[in-house]
Structure 1
């Protein structure tokens, strides 16, 4: 069970002192059977006039900060210690009726899964549908987990990972056409593809780290994005198309959402002279503290991706 120390610093810089509106901060990892928080601290500078915590509709921990001071810099510094229990691929135990595709979710689960099955992006020419169907075998039964694993590995193998400083996400059709994008672009593409096949899927925002010297993950130095698909018998199973992996090995969940725009780590407003905004930087530093991972360290400072 790896013990992790995680630092996530987001810094906004301004040419002149500005006033800050309400900010919504979602950087605290989720508590679960596979993620145990030992300590979590959020420091904000300048000091807010008020900070309150809530759980959103998905159960994510969200801090709401309000300010009464002007400043030329706004810094959010999150420090976390947690125990992480990775789930191995062989532990994915799917109910017998769902082991082969296609299948139908049970009547008890379907009402709660429907919104996570609904498509979020227009696909008038059925391009995403056609691409998704390539993973369904035509020469025999299609193994459900093998199909989803193949899709995850194919994105990793056939697409080019390109960090992008601009905010926002490409449409899945654009990602499919250009065969390149960021982790969040890949996640949105895979979510739409599996939804086209009738699966319930959700967007995950969190952190990625190297579990060992042999396992080098792409997407470190910033927040990371991947996918969860609901499989009867195992529940929500992690798929990371950026790294082509199944399971949560090297992945720390922070936010779970139906759509990417519900999982933005930090959002808020400011007011001041036009042109005051200078820059934003994000630094994520994860250290493995357990003896088995001695010497493993991942640190990088990047522009917002």
Structure 2
């Protein structure tokens, strides 16, 4: 099998392609022939060493949290999947940038037939993050006003659609070039963050989904109504600022959840949700894929073709 290996933290150019023995599934695992792997910001944050104090990993390791492919073999205790099943999943914090992987089936869902493997690989982490942010941590309800930062990215694209499906009034921040794209996902208002200060354009918001951090997060307190919620996937909100705004700040790490992913997969199968693949890049060029993600301004998700 082929796998991307990170032998040392630092430059993304230091990643190499290695030939490794195929993994063998344990009694409670499945072996997947990976067709595509999603590229997420956490991948380059880990590979660069920015997260090593929080997520220590033995070197070398294989990056990647999202995968889609076909089940090749199952452990003797696995009854939910069979060889030949097409699946997708948030497999863990690393491991997806490989042609074959072993995974806990509880992290997987069947791939919707209407999605190709590249589209399916773009779904798990982003959509689970969006759902958990809005519904579990943001307590989203019908009729609320929701502000979603980085609305054209992978998580943002899913969040706009999920908030629309929940009956919310959706406001997104994005570049001018992504205005029509974000509107097409279901946003009622789109603010060009380069041309306008969202804090001067928006007020009385029930929920802010912060996918940016920094000053964007700090300025988001001012748009929340009393009792509102600021949810961030990037950094822990300042509780002092929250007290001043009489609002709540929450930060979380996405939870792998096969049954939840299966419910979301049904929305992709029905067409209620759609995914956008920014670009598909061959596995040996993983450093280019991570650089593309790291530069920002990706519409939807970058995906690695692990068969290339």
The structure with the greater share of residues assigned to helix is: 2
Structure scoring higher RCO (CA < 8 A, sep ≥ 6) equals 1
Normalising by structure 1, report the TM-score: 0.21
Normalising by structure 2, report the TM-score: 0.21
The structure with the greater share of residues assigned to strand is: 1
